[in-house]
């Protein structure tokens, strides 16, 4: 519950700070710079280097990848139908395609599935959504932020992005089975610890809950995919098509947990990446500010619906 309370508090503070007369209107840019260049690389080095993989956990890890690819395809089609610009399409793809597993998911998984749920949630977050955000998310942001995308421009954007560079280093360390000494881990932890508060404040500073913004078609379609289509895709894949072949009866709860994870609100890091690449910052912020509170309800609805499946 403390995570959810912190989330609401930080988003509310961000909205409130907008109303202070002398508060810098572009303060979120400074926060984003610290997040992108310091906190996120530190966390990437710390956690990605320690990720371990086991074959029987593949479904949990694959869930974020399936969701992001589905989001990319869905909004490619939607953009053609509704004539969305590249900025809007990119923002929707990234924010609707990545769930907030670690921040919103952990307390929900613990509530619904106990300690085992948290353990699976950590795997889904660190080997799944966190990696997706640092690779596919950045590639997609680079692709949509370029007016005339080319392999050269996209690769340059990716390989000059600090979190991705940190990810590459962390993967090498993981392969070499290198573990940071305690003092180094503590330093990385402290550098990364402000991430959550800074990211949520940054998002809150950009939320504009006007009727016009709430009624815009891209936001509605983004929420539609994130809260309904995404969990439905995992439900069909895991609990219908793959139930008998992969999920043993005693582990069926893992498939249901993946559905709930898919139904969670957008990952705040995804919004930061979209904003950093100038992909419709207002929409990216709204996706976080609205999808997360709504998902607290929809994720629980999915959970109770799955009890009868």
> For residue 85, what pLDDT band results from cuts at 50, 70 and 90?
very high
194 to 10, 179, 188, 253: CA distances (angstroms): 12, 23, 11, 33
Query: What is the mean predicted confidence (pLDDT) over 27-42?
Result: 84
- Determine the pLDDT at residue 75: 97
Q: Which two tokens stand for residue 48?
A: 């990605």
How does residue 87 score in pLDDT terms, banded at 50, 70 and 90? Answer: very high
- Specify the residue for token string 């992001």: 68
Cα 211 to its chain centre, rounded Å, is 26
Out of 50-59, 94-103, 155-164, 281-290, least confident range: 50-59
Cα–Cα dist 279/308, whole Å: 40
**pTM score:** 0.77
- pLDDT band, very low/low/confident/very high, at 90 (cuts 50, 70, 90): very high
The pLDDT assigned to 1 comes to: 59
Average pLDDT over residues 13-27: 85
Coil vs helix vs strand at 99: strand
pLDDT(2) > 90:
no
Scored b (16 or more CB within 10 A) or e, 225-243 reads bbbebbbebbbebbbeeee
Among candidate residues 91, 66, 126, 121, the one with its CA nearest the CA of residue 260: 121
- Which domains, ranges and CATH numbers included, belong to the chain? 2-306 (1.20.1530)
Average pLDDT in the 197-217 region? 73
Of 170, 141, 180, 144, nearest to 32 by C-alpha is 141
CA distance 175 to 67: 26
- Segment 66-75 shows an average pLDDT of 97
* Band of pLDDT at residue 163, cut at 50, 70 and 90: confident
208: tokens are 């504009």
pLDDT digits (tens, 9 = 90+) for 100-119: 887 677 778 877 888 778 77
**Can you give the pLDDT at residue 212?**
57
If you average pLDDT over each of 5-19, 77-91, 212-226, 288-302, which comes out highest? 77-91
How high is the pLDDT of residue 50? 74
- Distance between the two ends of the chain, CA-based, in angstroms? 28
- Banded model confidence at residue 200, pLDDT cuts 50, 70, 90: confident
pLDDT of residue 240: 84
Average pLDDT over residues 286-302: 86
Cα torsion at 72, 78, 81, 83 (round to 10°)?
A: -80
pLDDT grade for 215, boundaries at 50, 70 and 90: low
Q: Inter-axis angle of helices 268-276 and 138-145, to 10 degrees?
A: 30
Q: Which two tokens stand for residue 207?
A: 């939320």
Q: What is the mean pLDDT of the chain?
A: 83
Is the separation of the CB atoms in 199 and 269 below 8 Å?
yes
CA dist., res. 82 & res. 63, Å (int): 28
Tokens representing 125 are 């977050």
Q: Is the pLDDT of residue 155 over 70?
A: yes
Question: Which of left, alpha, beta for 179 (phi over 0: left; psi -120 to 50: alpha)?
Answer: beta
Q: Of 108 and 301, which is predicted with more confidence? A: 301
Q: At 136, is the secondary structure helix, strand, or coil?
A: helix
Q: Rounded CA gap, 256 and 246, in Å? A: 13
Per residue in 229-286, pLDDT (tens digit) is 999 999 999 888 876 555 555 567 888 899 999 999 998 888 888 988 899 998 998 8
Which residues partner with 266 through β-bridges?
99
Tell me phi and psi for residue 88, to 5 degrees.
-65, -45
CA distance 54 to 5: 33
């Amino acid at each position: 519950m403390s995570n959810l309370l912190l989330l609401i508090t930080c988003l509310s503070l961000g909205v409130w700070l907008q109303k202070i007369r002398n508060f810098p209107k572009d303060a979120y840019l400074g926060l984003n710079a610290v997040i992108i260049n310091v906190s996120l690389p530190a966390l990437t080095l710390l956690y990605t280097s320690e990720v371990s993989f086991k074959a029987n956990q593949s479904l949990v890890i694959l869930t974020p990848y399936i969701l992001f690819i589905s989001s990319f395809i869905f909004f490619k089609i939607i953009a053609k139908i509704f004539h969305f610009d590249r900025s809007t399409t990119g923002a929707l793809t990234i924010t609707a395609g990545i769930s907030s597993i670690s921040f919103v998911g952990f307390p929900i998984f613990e509530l619904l599935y106990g300690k085992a749920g948290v353990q699976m949630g950590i795997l889904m977050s660190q080997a799944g959504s966190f990696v997706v955000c640092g690779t596919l998310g950045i590639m997609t942001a680079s692709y949509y932020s370029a007016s005339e995308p080319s392999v050269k421009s996209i690769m340059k954007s990716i390989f000059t992005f600090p979190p991705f560079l940190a990810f590459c280093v962390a993967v090498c360390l993981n392969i070499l089975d290198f573990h940071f000494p305690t003092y180094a881990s503590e330093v990385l932890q402290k550098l990364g610890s402000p991430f959550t508060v800074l990211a949520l404040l940054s998002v809150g500073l950009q939320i504009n809950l006007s009727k016009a913004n709430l009624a815009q078609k891209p936001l509605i379609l983004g929420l539609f995919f994130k809260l309904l289509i995404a969990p439905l895709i995992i439900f069909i894949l895991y609990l219908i098509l793959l139930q008998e072949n992969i999920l043993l009866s005693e582990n069926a709860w893992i498939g249901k947990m993946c559905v709930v994870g898919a139904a969670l609100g957008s990952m705040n890091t995804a919004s930061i990446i979209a904003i950093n690449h100038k992909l419709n910052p207002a929409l990216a912020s709204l996706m976080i500010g609205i999808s997360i509170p709504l998902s607290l309800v929809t994720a629980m609805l999915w959970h109770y619906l799955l009890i009868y499946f």
